Structure formats: C-alpha cells, structure tokens
Structure 1
Amino acid sequence: MLKTGQEHLESLRDGRRVYIGGELVDDVTAHPAFRNAAASFAMLYDRKAAPENRDVMSFEDENGGRCSSWYLMPRTRADLEKRMETHRRIAEWSHGLLGRSPDHVASFVTGLAMKPEMFDAIRPGFGDNVVNHYRHMRENDVFATYTVLPPQGARKPELYERAGMKVPTLRVVDETDAGVIVDGMKMLGTSAVFCNETWVGNLLPLGPDQLKESITCAVPLNAEGVAMWTRKPFERYAVSEFDNPLSWRFDETDSMVLFDRVFVPWEKVFVHDNAEMSRGIYVQSPSHSMGNHQSNIRFLEKLKLMLGIAHRVVEANNVGHIPAVQGVLGQLAAWQAGLEGMIMGQLQNPETLVPGYLNVNRRYMYAALHWCTTMHGQVCDAVRELLGGGPFQMPADISVVADPDMRAQFERYWSVPGQSAVGRMKLFKLAWDLLGSEFAGRHMQYEKFYAGPGFIVTGYSYLNAPWDAWGGLVDGILNGYDVPDGGSVRTPPGK
C-alpha cells in the first residue's frame, strides 16, 4: 500500500509515550513541539503517492500491490536509478534536513531481506523472520527508525558491574517460548517520535561476552514499556516560520529510547546470542551500502541548498564581482560536482553482492560518505564567511513590522538596491537557521557523527580498497628488472 499523509498522522495517535523533560506528550501530531515536523513527514507520503510521482516512487509487488520504491530489491541498473530518484525527491522536498526520512531505515531492512540465508545461519527460522518483517514494512508503508548504539558511557559493562550499578544498555533479560524480554536503553532514535517502530540492533562491534546485548529485533514504538525521552525540540522555540523557517518545519528530533521489560515475539527477532553477527549482518549484505547510498543523496540535496544560500547572499551584498568571492563560490561548486559525481558513479559501476541482485558500488559510496562527514563543516565555514555579520544586523524578529513607524524606518535603513529590508531579513534568517542557530548546531553534530566516529568511516574505505590490485602495479614494475650484472652502473655522459 501507499500510505497517505493523513493515515500516517493517524498511525502516530497510538498511545505512545513521548517525554519532553517531565511533560508527557498526548499527541505528537498536535503538540507545538512536533506538529509542523509531523506535517512535513505527512507531506512526503502525500507527494510520493501523487500522480506525477507515483510511477517513479512506487512499484508493483508480486501480489499486484503498490509499494514505495525504497522497498524495491534492485536487480537491474534501472532499478537502482528508480531507487536513487526516489531518494532524491524525498530529500529535495525536505532540503536534505530529515536524516531519518522514511526511505532510510527501510533501505537497510530491504538490503537485509535480500540475504535471508545469512540469518538462518545465525539461527534456523531467522531468515523467514527478516523476510516476513520486510514484507510487513513494505505492505504497510511502515516508517521505522533504528536504535543501534549503546548509550555513551555504558559501552563497558564491567565498569558498571564493578560499581554495583545496573548496566543501562539494552539486553535480553528473559526468554520464553513466545519470545524475549528486553530491558535497557538505546540511542539514538532520530525521528522516533514520528515513526511507527524501531529496528533495535548494533552498529558497533560487541565483545564475545556481550551475547545478551546482541539482540536485533523490531519493536513498535507504542509497545508497553517503551518510552521516548526527546532532546530539546527546536520547533517549540521557533517564534515564527519567517524567523526560523527550517526549525519551524524540519526538526526531526532525536530521542533516547527506553525499554522497560519489553516483550518481543520470536517472529520479530533476527539476531540473538551472536555478538559477531549483530553488526556483521549490515556489512555482509547490501544493507549498509543501500542505507548509506540514501544518506549520500540526502546530503547532496542539502548541499545544493547551502550553495543556493551562498549565491543569494553574495547577490544581496553586491559582492559577486570580487574575484575572491567568485573563488569561494567556485570552490563550493567544485565540491558539489565532485560529490554528485561520486554518487552517479555508484550506479554507473555497480556490483553484485547477492546473486540475482545489483548493488551500488560500495567503494564510491563509502568515499562519498567520508566526504559528507568530513567536509560538511568546511562547507558551512565557507558559507558563513560569505554571510559575515549580516545575520546580526537584523532585528530580533519580524514583529518589528507590526508597528508602521518602525517598519518604515526598517525599510529606510536596511534596504539595499534591488532588495527590500524585509526580503533581506528573510534571506538572512533562513541562512542563519541553516548555519548558525541551535537547529544548525544540531545538524553540525549530526553530519559529523551519523555514520559513526571518523575512524570508523575512514575504516570502511580502507577495508573496501583493492590493495592487492594496487600492490600488483608496484610488483609489476619491481619484477620487470633486477640488480645489474656485477652491480655495474652506467657512467653519466661527461664523466
């Protein structure tokens, strides 16, 4: 099915427990901290199903039903192109600001379901579990987040045990014939308050003594015992859409997700008592590359917005004729083209990871991932340099125009040739919300760490590089000659 925006909003009125500090939120679709972002997610569902997007952004499954294209298991380059364009449109409509849009975790799960035999090797029947869960998500257009990291400070259980403290990391605490009981906490549920369920797992390696933490399962976010504790919601503190145009609509929020003895039936369990494969399932299947291909595309659309703002600010300040300014814009344009080339190359040079399916090129994907996580700060710095002190010259908020005398004064002193004071303020408020506000600060941290710490991200490129082939080039040269007879060397001319 293709869920409508209204159907998605209704699915969130399910009794879930969401806390902002000590406040229990009754309805995330109506609360002033979340309602605009909820409407933004609903917009994605409606636009996806619209006639002009339906053919690209959905496909017909084996039973004749229409399903979102992010659930398409790619067998051809055309399938990869269909998926890529679907990701691109979702990111374009949200300006790349929703890192956990509905196509992200769905891509991870789709990649896992392409290799069910890997799960059966962990425990017979787990392969059917992951395929059936994939079908459940596909047929119900489920929006899922993932919680796949232990909380900071709790990654060495022995420290807690020596101090006589409860280990807060989620783990299996009991088993029955019907399923398992999990208890503890996971991070970080980005978009969790707007999702139907969470995929619980591990993207960090576990030690062999952490078997009970290796649980990988799916949990509805309204399940008994589940609670989401959100960070400060920026939407709640946005004074108007004019003053905070991005945090007003696109704060996806992040939450710690607590599980207080939550029951998970066996059919929703995919890994258990296997520390190595708790992480291994992602990198030994198309999952990791499919999910991060989506993040590459999402970042590219965000980068386009940043470059558009940079150019508009240059125009507003009438400094586009200065060679140094042109150089900054040229550098930004070159960076954007390089990233787009890495993304397009993922489709032009695909590879097969699972027989019968086609996968994006992992090396190019990991190179793009490395670029995004390391270069975001440099891009922001370059655009902020073009902004200069412009954002601080603006009044505190747009209420200044409510007074006719103040508005006239504002237009008299803040207008520039070709742009009104209100138009100029509107541009600089947008730029600051993306680059300097608290909302922007969260994005700085998110882009730096969403794929893991830097050494993990660079490690993917190390592990996937063709070192033997490159070394062979060196060996080919070295094997083409030897020590000259008797160690003699030619005397240079003139000596």
Structure 2
Amino acid sequence: MVEERIKMANTRMTAGKAYLDRLNDGRRVWLDGEIVPDIRSHPAFRGTVRSVAALLDLQDAPATKSQLTFKTDNGAKAHIAYLIPESKQDLFRRSEGLRIWSEATFGIMSRVAGFYRSQLTGWYIARNLISREQPYFPQKIADYYAYVRDNDLLVTAAGHDPQIDRTKLAHELGDLYTAVRIVRETEEGLVVRGAKMIGTGAPYMDEIVVSPHSKKTDDEQRYAVMFAIPASHPGVHLICRESFASDREDDHPLSSRFDEMDAVLVFDDALIPWERVFVKDDPDAIWRIRSDRMVSAISLHENIVRLASKLEFMAAVGTELAESIGITKFAHVQEKLAELYAQLEAIRALLLSAEHRATLHPLGVWEPALEPILTAKNLGNRYYPRAVEILQQLSGAGMLQVPSTIAELSGPLGSKLRTIYRGADRDAEERVKLLKLSWDLVGSRLGARHELYERFYAGDPVRTYAGQYLAYDKQPLLDKVARVTG
C-alpha cells in the first residue's frame, strides 16, 4: 500500500503544493454532464482547492506548525488528528490543534477539518477489539492508518444508500446501480457495483472510505462491505451536485472559497484490491466498527470542536450586523444576540466537560466523555438553524438591499451610494461587505446547503436523539426517584 504513491513526508515540498500535485491523478469528477479535466483550474472547484492548499500549508507555518503537527515514531510529520491521546495532555493538544484548523475556515469546511482522520485514528486504536471474526482487519487498518498519516492525505467517506424506496431493504431493490454491493470475487480483490451517497468533499479529497452507515441485515451480506479507495480509483465516478461556488471573491467571500462539494459515488464494477478491503459479508462486524464507543468519542470530539468554531463565527457576524445599524440598545436585539452567545458557550462548556471528564481506556488512551459530546452534537442540529434564523431577523431586508457588486460604490453613482449604504459606525464599503458576507452565510445557495448539512450530517436527528436516550445511563436518575417513593 505504501508503494501506491510516492511518500511526501519529510520532503521540502510544502503540504499545500504536494496536495495540488496529487490532484492531477485522473479522477473522474462529473459536473454538468461532463468530466472535469482538472479541478484545480475549474471555476467550480479552484477556490475551494486553493483554500485547502492554504490550510495544509499551515502545517509548515512557523506560528502554527507545532500546534497542528506531531512527530511519529518513524520520524514523519503528521497532522494532529492522527495523534493518539496517550495522556490527557495529548487530548488537550489534539483539541487545540483541531480548533486552529477549524477556525482557519470559520468551521465551514467540515470534511477537511479532520473528522474522518480522527475516526480512522480511533479504528486504529481499537483495531484488535472491534474485529473479532475479521482476522485481517487489524493489520489492514493499521497499514492504512500509517499510509494516510505519513502521506498527510485527506480522507472523507460515503456510506448512505441511494434514496430510491426507503420502505425496502437494499437487496429488495434489484441489481441495477442501487447500493454498493459485492458482485464477484477475484484473486486480486472484490468487484463492487452500485452507488453511495453522500461523499462530502470527495472531489478534492485523497481517499474515500466506503461502508454502510446503517445496520445491514443477514439478507444483505453482500452489501456489508467496508473498503477504502483513492479518489481516482478506476471504475469510480464522482457525480457532483450543482456548484455553489463563485469567482467573485469580494461579493461572495464564502462561496468563492469554501464550497465543500458533495458527490454521489458510482462504482462501475470497480475492482477493490484485497489489501484495501477491511470487512466483507459481515453486517455485525461493520456495525461494531461503526458504533464502538471509544471510536465515537475520538471522532465526534473533532465534530464538536468544529461546531464551536462555526457557532462562534455566527455569533461574530450577528454582533457585527447589530452594531452596524445601531440596534444593540434594544432589548429584543440583546435577547437574540445573547441566544447566539448562549449557544456558543453551551457547546464550549460541553466540549470542556468531555475533555476534563476523559477517562483512561483499557487500551491506554484517554477517551473523551461521550455523553457531553453526544449532547453537543444533538444540540448542534437545532442550534445552527436557529442561529441562521437569528441572523436573518437581525438583518431584516438589509441583506437584500445591497448593490449587485461592491465595485458599484466606486462607479458613476458612487458618491450617492456611499451615503445610502453607510452604517451607524462604519462606511458604506465596510457595511456592504458585511451584508454580502451575511447573505453568503445564511441566504445564498451555500448558506442553504450548510443549514441542511448541520441538520442531517450525523443522521436523522430523531434517531440521534433516540440513540442518546438508549445509551444514557438512566439508573442514577431512577435511583433518585426510588429514594422518595421507596
């Protein structure tokens, strides 16, 4: 596996430059009915690609290098998400590095932030406990973990079956391009056919892990397969949604830089080499791997770090909106701003609680407390849409009352427009930029996508809340009542 690509570790090439070079690998990214020849230069992708490259370069920057990376046992420099928390200090170090990483994109870039890197780290830590009937899993996942860590590769995942008829199981839908399944086995590996959704960030990632997100039944053994592929893997097509990107950076400051493209993966009888097949024909094993408590705690910890960064950005924009038109003296505005602050502080407190209540796992790693993490994740499903609503209320129609471009402030009507669009505490250019940022965040196509994403990225909120109920230790609560009722 190490020979699949030339290792980039310990070379003089910057992480961002190495990433840009890796993207020229023949990946089949489909947009508007055509394969994109080079996503580095295509207007739908280049802004995001440049942002990712700049983010990776933070690993080489003197001010952030020590916080974002660590040295592995073999001397390679690795991203902080791959750090195994063997001490409580390691856990805090991971948290701080992930915070810096997330805040570089204001919490908007979710998959590049490190969730699946963290999940892979959890799988590696627990590889000997969660495999059981899959004897090759521990070594394969260890090799894969070392490969992506030492080559500083970006990882995303695709696990949901296509939404065709949700009253039926995958095997009841027929064989023509439904959910990914094994169609045959060869000496070289498995041949798989079908589709998986939704590969967030897949077009500009290095690696994609594929496995079912929902539990498969014994009748669906051929669908119970877990493997990893490079984004350019033969026989794999990445079908993109409509682009929300913009090439007008001044007028669309977020859409021009952070359109985290979503894609459906179509496998056209793709051969998956055996060394990249982690599990096959075993629904129970895949479910154990996906639901392991320690793995969930390690990976979801990153999610909450990112959520705090994103809610902090929402609170900052909301505050600026109110300040810009002098409405902070009104009680109903103060109430709305306080709600944004309360959201942020609640998530921060839950994050700190998870870290300080961490316990030493039998495997010798410090495991964040899962209960506050699950609480923060579930609250985030509701907090973010409410934050969007608050920003809309604070602005009113202000986001719609801006010139089509900031450049118009310097045009023929510039002197008049600079008078009309000025704010209570800033000039017209500053206020128009703020309003355009706000619209990009909560009103644009990108903004709508993010609201939907935050509602459902972790699954159906009804199920995630029900899952928290089922997993919660309710006995101490019942004992309290019993002390009164006898």
Q: Which residue of 2 aligns with 1:376?
A: 384
Letter paired with 1:28: I
CA positional deviation for 1:425: 0.8
Letter paired with 2:179: T
Q: Does 1:28 align with 2:36?
A: no
Q: Does 1:172 align with 2:182?
A: yes
Q: Is the CA contact (8 Å cut-off) linking 1:154 and 1:168 kept in structure 2? A: no
CA positional deviation for 1:99: 1.1
Sequence identity percentage: 28
Q: What is the aligned-residue RMSD (CA, Å)?
A: 1.8
How is 1:70-469 mapped onto 2 (pairs within 5 angstroms)?
70-153=81-164, 161=172, 166=176, 168-235=178-245, 238=246, 240-401=248-409, 403=411, 405-469=412-476
Tell me, what secondary structure is at the counterpart of 1:422?
A: helix
Q: Deviations over 1:175-220 (max 9, x none)?
A: 1233111111101111111111100011211122111111001111
Tell me, what secondary structure is at the counterpart of 1:117?
A: coil
Q: Which residue of 2 aligns with 1:491?
A: none
Of stretches 465-474 and 130-139 in structure 1, the one that deviates more from structure 2 is 465-474
Q: 1:85 to 1:159 in 2, by over 3 A?
A: closer
Q: Distance in 1 between matches of 2:247 and 2:419?
A: 25
CA positional deviation for 1:234: 1.1
Q: Is the CA contact (8 Å cut-off) linking 2:68 and 2:101 kept in structure 1? A: no
Q: Deviations over 1:371-425 (max 9, x none)?
A: 101221111111211111101111122242352x211221132224432222211
Q: Deviations over 1:276-319 (max 9, x none)?
A: 22222122252222222111111111111111111111111111
Q: Which residue of 2 aligns with 1:488?
A: none
CA positional deviation for 1:65: 2.1
Letter paired with 1:231: R
Tell me, what secondary structure is at the counterpart of 2:148?
A: helix
Q: Distance in 2 between matches of 1:86 and 1:372?
A: 21
Q: Is the CA contact (8 Å cut-off) linking 1:102 and 1:144 kept in structure 2? A: no
Q: Is the CA contact (8 Å cut-off) linking 2:226 and 2:279 kept in structure 1? A: yes
CA positional deviation for 1:240: 1.2
CA positional deviation for 1:472: 2.1
Question: Which structure 1 residue ranges, 4+ long, deviate > 4 Å from structure 2?
Answer: 154-162
Q: Is the CA contact (8 Å cut-off) linking 1:241 and 1:248 kept in structure 2? A: yes
Q: Is the CA contact (8 Å cut-off) linking 1:285 and 1:354 kept in structure 2? A: no
Q: Deviations over 1:419-471 (max 9, x none)?
A: 22222111100001001111100001000000000122113321331112222
Q: Which residue of 2 aligns with 1:484?
A: none
CA positional deviation for 1:165: 6.0
Q: Distance in 2 between matches of 1:55 and 1:232?
A: 38
Q: 1:311 to 1:72 in 2, by over 3 A?
A: same
Q: Distance in 1 between matches of 2:23 and 2:165?
A: 31
Q: Distance in 1 between matches of 2:177 and 2:17?
A: 40
Q: Deviations over 1:89-114 (max 9, x none)?
A: 11100000011015121101110111
Q: Is the CA contact (8 Å cut-off) linking 2:179 and 2:195 kept in structure 1? A: yes
Q: Does 1:61 align with 2:75?
A: no
Tell me, what secondary structure is at the counterpart of 2:121?
A: helix
Q: Is the CA contact (8 Å cut-off) linking 2:177 and 2:195 kept in structure 1? A: no
Q: Distance in 1 between matches of 2:288 and 2:470?
A: 14
Q: Is the CA contact (8 Å cut-off) linking 1:290 and 1:360 kept in structure 2? A: yes
Q: Distance in 2 between matches of 1:456 and 1:267?
A: 34
Q: Distance in 2 between matches of 1:49 and 1:26?
A: 29
Q: Distance in 2 between matches of 1:440 and 1:472?
A: 46
Q: Distance in 2 between matches of 1:382 and 1:251?
A: 23
Q: 2:48 aligns with which of 33, 37, 46?
A: 37
Larger Rg: 1
Q: Distance in 2 between matches of 1:122 and 1:142?
A: 29
Of stretches 181-190 and 322-331 in structure 1, the one that deviates more from structure 2 is 322-331
- Equivalent residue pairs, number: 475
